[in-house]
Amino acid sequence: MGQGYFITGTDTNVGKTWATVALMRYFKGKGKSVIGLKPVASGCIAKDGRLVNADALLLQENATVRLDYRSVNPYAFALPVSPHIAGKDNPVELDVIVNIFNAIKGQAQVILVEGAGGWYSPLNENQDNSDLAVVLELPVLMVVAVKLGCINHAKLTYQAIKSDRVSCAGWIAVCTDANTMYPKEIVSTIKKMLDVPLLGVLPYMDAPDFKVLAMNFSLRNLIY
């Protein structure tokens, strides 16, 4: 593994998966091998006798290395609620995730790990996504949904990442709402507030065209 990043968001449903898959396409376009992981996922559906998550399947399909689904998403929960509630009978153990990560990290030049929800969204009764990023020892990429309220969310999340002494390598803006007013001004405001690079602004789409989305990244200033 030459590069690895933990993808977090300012909230749930902010476009983390679209950003992660678009990044995978970007790195593939640069000739790099890439793997995407989503260790914890809620709201899964039954398929062929097991629970699977649509986002995790996207990451699996877009990787250059074919991994078993359990390696991509070891904790798949049926209920569409926080993992610490959905996984009450099968609580997330960070050691399990770390062991899987260490076993596969040599198989690709780039590994992207998508978190579940926001930075402090709980994974079990005592640990959250920030703890997972710490034990994986990965720099963070922060995804911000461009909408009303996101300036506050972006600043709070970035301050939380810094307070946990985790490196933030950059941030990504995702236009998730076609009706958001003044999106360029919102992005510009956040850009002035943060001292890490803006890596890309992903335009609004009803359905994702990841080839197009990948063209919106500029990673020359990526911190790693």
Q: Mean per-residue pLDDT for 108-134?
A: 97
Residues designated catalytic: 38
Res. 21: pLDDT tops 80: yes
For residue 113, how many C-alpha atoms fall within 13 Å in the half-sphere facing its CB?
28
pTM, to two decimals? 0.95
In sequence order, what are the beta bridge partners of 75? 40
Domain that holds residue 184: 3-214
Contact 7, 19 (CB under 8 A): yes
DSSP state at residue 105: G
User: Is 224 inside a domain boundary?
Assistant: no
Instruction: State the pLDDT at residue 219.
Output: 85
Q: Mean per-residue pLDDT for 192-215?
A: 96
Q: Assign residue 121 the CATH number of its domain.
A: 3.40.50.300
User: Is 219 inside a domain boundary?
Assistant: no
Contact 214, 32 (CB under 8 A): no
Res. 9: pLDDT tops 90: yes
Q: How far are the Cα atoms of 7, 78, 159, 169, 171 from residue 223, in angstroms, in the given order?
A: 14, 36, 17, 5, 11
User: Is 140 inside a domain boundary?
Assistant: yes
What are phi and psi for residue 214, nearest 5 degrees? -65, -25
Res. 2: pLDDT tops 90: no
User: Is 202 inside a domain boundary?
Assistant: yes
The number of domains in the chain is: 1
Instruction: State the pLDDT at residue 146.
Output: 97
d(CA 209, CA 29): 15
Instruction: State the pLDDT at residue 223.
Output: 57
User: Is 220 inside a domain boundary?
Assistant: no
Res. 147: pLDDT tops 80: yes
User: Is 222 inside a domain boundary?
Assistant: no
* Strands annotated E in the chain: 3-9, 34-37, 40-41, 45-47, 50-52, 75-76, 110-118, 140-145, 168-174, 198-202
User: Is 84 inside a domain boundary?
Assistant: yes
Instruction: State the pLDDT at residue 218.
Output: 87
d(CA 62, CA 58): 6
d(CA 116, CA 40): 6
Torsion over CA: 25, 30, 35, 39 (sign)? negative
Instruction: State the pLDDT at residue 220.
Output: 77
User: Is 223 inside a domain boundary?
Assistant: no
What are the structure tokens assigned to 15, written together? 């476009």
Q: Which of 65, 75, 71 is nearest to 100 (CA)?
A: 71
